[in-house]
Homo-oligomer: A and B are copies of this chain.
Amino acid sequence: MSSLPGTAAGRVTLVGAGPGDAELLTLKAVKALQSADVILFDDLVSDEVLELARREAKRMLVGKRAGRDSCRQEDINVMMLTLAKQGKHVVRLKSGDPMIFGRAGEEIASLEAEGIPVSVVPGITAGLALASRLGVSLTHRDHAQSVRFVTGHSRKGDLPEGLDWQGLADSRTTTVFYMARRMLPKIVEKLGAFGMSAATPTTVAINLGRGDEAIWRGPLAELVAAAETMDIDAPTLVAVGDALGVGMMVAAAEDEWRRAG
């Protein structure tokens, strides 16, 4: 693959930046950031994460965020290709884990089609960061046998089509909805229509792992109203299921999170 002209030295590493807290990067992610020539990052990647990068690395914001102007995916693909063909080590830095809701599949396909070597460094995905933050075992053996990560909106910005609402309404599976903010009232309505109890434990978190983080825990019946009191433009994560009813108190968790390690 790397025998194509001009590609010998260039390569791309997709790196998971985790939820925001720089200490939640993996050692391998830090190593990639410290050997990068160029870093293409999403606007959910925090400044403290970017500070871990090699001083000489060029940092370029290519973020996409619901409802805002941003680079098109095609433009990002072309940018990565062009830089890699110039022999650069390109780090594509994505919040959370690259392989969940990050369009990494399209980026990898585009790079491989041109013979650019690609590797991927996993990251702490937001759903797992939330679980640690709250002390909630997503698969507590008394409450859930599986955990599910679901996108909160479709390509068109509406509810995702073809979702198995019957399965999602089962409170014995823990479900984490990513990017769920704008569709939240519709999601809650669907869950109720498919029989999920209004008393099912839920959580909504914004700005997870950042200084302006806010977390609410309560029953499904109060979820929409609680979310409405939170910053509508902040990245939002919603989790539902019986397993959310267990775990540490938020206050205690907050306290301990700061002294963790």
Interface residues, chain A, with chain B CB atoms under 8 Å away: 1, 11, 13-14, 16, 18, 21-32, 35, 97-106, 108-109, 112, 117-125, 128-129, 131-133, 135-143, 145-151, 154-155, 160, 162-164, 166-167, 170, 172-173, 243, 246-248, 252-253, 255-257, 259-261
Contact = CB atoms under 8 A, between A and B. Distances in A.
Main secondary structure of the interface of A (DSSP, over half): mixed
Given A24-B27, A124-B26, A141-B105, A148 B151 contact: no
Given A109-B246, A128-B100, A136-B99, A257 B119 contact: yes
A26 B28 contact: no
A102 B141 CA distance: 9
A13 B260 contact: yes
Given A101-B139, A105-B140, A256 B164 contact: no
Contact of A35 (B128, B149, B248, B261): B261
Contact of A137 (B104, B132, B151): B104
A30 B32 contact: no
Given A16-B132, A99-B128, A105-B247, 12 more contacts: A21-B28, A25-B27, A103-B141, A104-B135, A105-B141, A118-B248, A118-B256, A121-B261, A123-B124, A145-B160, A146-B151, A148-B173
